Amino acid sequence: MNRNLPVPLDHRTEPAQKVAGVIERVIAEVPAPRTHAVRDAVGTAERIARSAAQKAALVSGSLALPPGPLGLLTVLPDLYVIWKVQRQMVADIFALHGRSAELTRTHMLYCLFRHMASQVLRDVAVRTGQRVVIEQLSSGALRHTLSKLGSTVTQRLAGTAASRWVPLAGAAAVGAYAYWDTLQVAGTARRLLEAPGPDADADPQERIEAPLRQPPAGD
């Protein structure tokens, strides 16, 4: 058995707890970046994001190919692998901006889940001037946040689980969502790092949240 995959050992564990446990494992380690600071950080980050999104779509779509109950068994391994791809992408984007030293597990949590659980993570980011500072969570606050994230992600999974019963078409839909989801993660990381553009006079919270409101095509 591959020990790197999160296999639930106790069937009595609630789904939300299982998902929270997978999230905790993902953010427990901030991976070493595979990039370094470059002059064109924005353009390079865009290319890295597209590459990671393609990888996520391929992995997620492949794991969703088995139909019916067998396909449902791949959900947690699917999430784990996709979040690891996204985690590495975030580390690489931070490195492009020369800010790897700032990246913590709370930053990682914010980048990975801000677009799907804004209410859960709304108190993690604090604006100071034109920058957004990520508040580090205590152990107790982190556990509470992970629990709420587990519930939120589980609810989303319940809404998309039906697609895993449809061979091929369902796998394509799952892969497409993984692609879109990965781009949202990249967008959150880049907005944390990049200097404000011409709309610097706009409402700060509006600038952060507006790009996250567009759902994937067909959602």
The model's pLDDT over 34-79, given as tens digits with 9 standing for 90+, comes to 999 999 999 999 999 999 999 999 988 776 655 544 444 567 888 8
Indicate whether 3 belongs to any domain.
no
Evaluate if residue 210 carries a pLDDT over 60. no
Q: pLDDT above 90 covers what percent of the chain?
A: 47
Indicate whether 44 belongs to any domain.
yes
- Of residues 187, 188, 179, 184, the one with CA closest to residue 59: 179
Return the pLDDT at 132: 79
Angle between the N-to-C axes of helices 75-96 and 105-113, in degrees from 0 to 180, rounded to the nearest 10: 110
pLDDT in tens, 141-191: 999 999 999 999 888 776 555 555 555 556 777 888 899 999 999 999 999
User: pLDDT-based confidence at 83, cuts 50/70/90?
Assistant: very high
Evaluate if residue 22 carries a pLDDT over 90. yes
Higher pLDDT, 103 or 211: 103
How far apart CA 55 and CA 80 sit, in angstroms, is 14
Domain count for the chain, please give it: 1
Indicate whether 53 belongs to any domain.
yes
Indicate whether 2 belongs to any domain.
no
Calculate the average pLDDT of the chain.
78
Return the pLDDT at 172: 79
Cα angle: 176, vertex 177, 180; to 5 degrees: 90
Indicate whether 201 belongs to any domain.
yes
Indicate whether 34 belongs to any domain.
yes
How far apart CA 146 and CA 19 sit, in angstroms, is 9
Return the pLDDT at 154: 85
Residue 204, domain extent: 15-212
Return the pLDDT at 131: 76
Evaluate if residue 133 carries a pLDDT over 80. yes
Return the pLDDT at 215: 44
User: pLDDT-based confidence at 206, cuts 50/70/90?
Assistant: very low
Indicate whether 178 belongs to any domain.
yes
Strands 125-128 and 131-134, bridge-based pairing: antiparallel
Indicate whether 112 belongs to any domain.
yes
